[in-house]
Chain A
Amino acid sequence: MLAACVGLALIDPTHGPTICPFKLATGFDCPGCGGTRAAHELLTGHLGRALDYNAVAVVALPFIAWALFVVIVAALGGPKLPQISLSKRWTYVGIAVIVVFWVVRNLPIAPFNWLGTGA
């Protein structure tokens, strides 16, 4: 995990190729577009730029990091730490947030267009 973070901090994905099939086909951002770039910006200390690329990914990153940490600790034979467990209601809320974010970030009007990757 540390190696992955170091690699993501050192390698700037900003000018890499677009790999999202939805973006390639439609020109619109999917909910995940900008996620890797947001992680890179966050790891290099640029919170504003990270939010600009993918606000949902930035908000979710602490949860993602903890979930991954639990998996890695267990895989290495360490103690079994509590994994994030969401109720049905919160799972649906999370999915709804992702869907709304997907629509809103593609609206061509301010301030919603700020949520897009701009690329």
Chain B
Amino acid sequence: MTDTPGSVPAPGPEPSSTPPPVQTGSVRSMGPVGKVRSPLVVILLFIVTLGIYSIYWWYASFQELKDHTGEGVGGLLGILFGVCIGIVGIFLLPFEIGNMYEGEGKTKPMSWLTGFWNFLPIVGGIIWVFKVQGAMNREWESH
């Protein structure tokens, strides 16, 4: 499933309605998976909506990570980290994605260091979205 420009953003299920992940040895069993989004469509929506879509994207990304792993800051704080103090959000999101992979006993595809891509003018942000959204997509598709 991919986001389309005409789709109505719908927040993911809340943690309260999600059974908490169960700890089984060193590998956690996970909650519901998030929505697969094309990184290209995400970037186009950022541009077309003058950045308004990014508010939903920050919310959805952090909330889906929390729903899946039972850990993390969640959607509302994700908006605050991503929009109000973006310098933190760009490091925190890849950090949480890396932790999600590690929690499943997989190799971490990224760490907080991925955030430094954003300091490369113009293309850095695009690379960052492709890396971050791509890593989330691979995880959602693997379930």
The chain A residues found within 8 Å of chain B, CB to CB, are: 4, 20-22, 25-26, 30-32, 35-36, 39, 54, 56-57, 60, 63-64, 67-68, 71, 75, 83-88, 90-91, 94-95, 98
Give the secondary structure class of A's interface: helix
Within 8 A of A (CB), among B102-138: 112
Write out the residue numbers on chain A whose beta carbons fall within 8 Å of the beta carbon of B83: 30-32, 35
User: Is the CB–CB distance between B51 and A64 below 8 Å?
Assistant: no
Ranked nearest first, the 6 interchain pairs of A and B with the lowest CB-CB distance are A32-B83, A35-B84, A21-B51, A88-B14, A94-B76, A57-B84
Once the chains are docked, how many angstroms separate the CA of A94 from the CA of B112? 26
User: Is the CB–CB distance between A20 and B85 below 8 Å?
Assistant: no
Write out the residue numbers on chain B whose beta carbons fall within 8 Å of the beta carbon of A35: 83-86
Instruction: Classify chain B's interface size.
Output: 20 to 34
Once the chains are docked, how many angstroms separate the CA of A84 from the CA of B17? 17
Of A31, A87, A88, which contacts B84 at CB under 8 A? Answer: A31
- Min Cβ gap A41→B in Å is 13
Once the chains are docked, how many angstroms separate the CA of A56 from the CA of B80? 9
- Residue contacts A-B, CB under 8 angstroms, 9 given: A30-B51, A57-B84, A64-B85, A64-B88, A67-B73, A68-B88, A71-B73, A88-B17, A94-B76
Once the chains are docked, how many angstroms separate the CA of A68 from the CA of B77? 10
Which of B77, B88, B95 gathers most chain A CB within 10 Å?
B77
Query: Considering only CB atoms, which chain A residue lies closest to B49 in the complex?
Result: A22
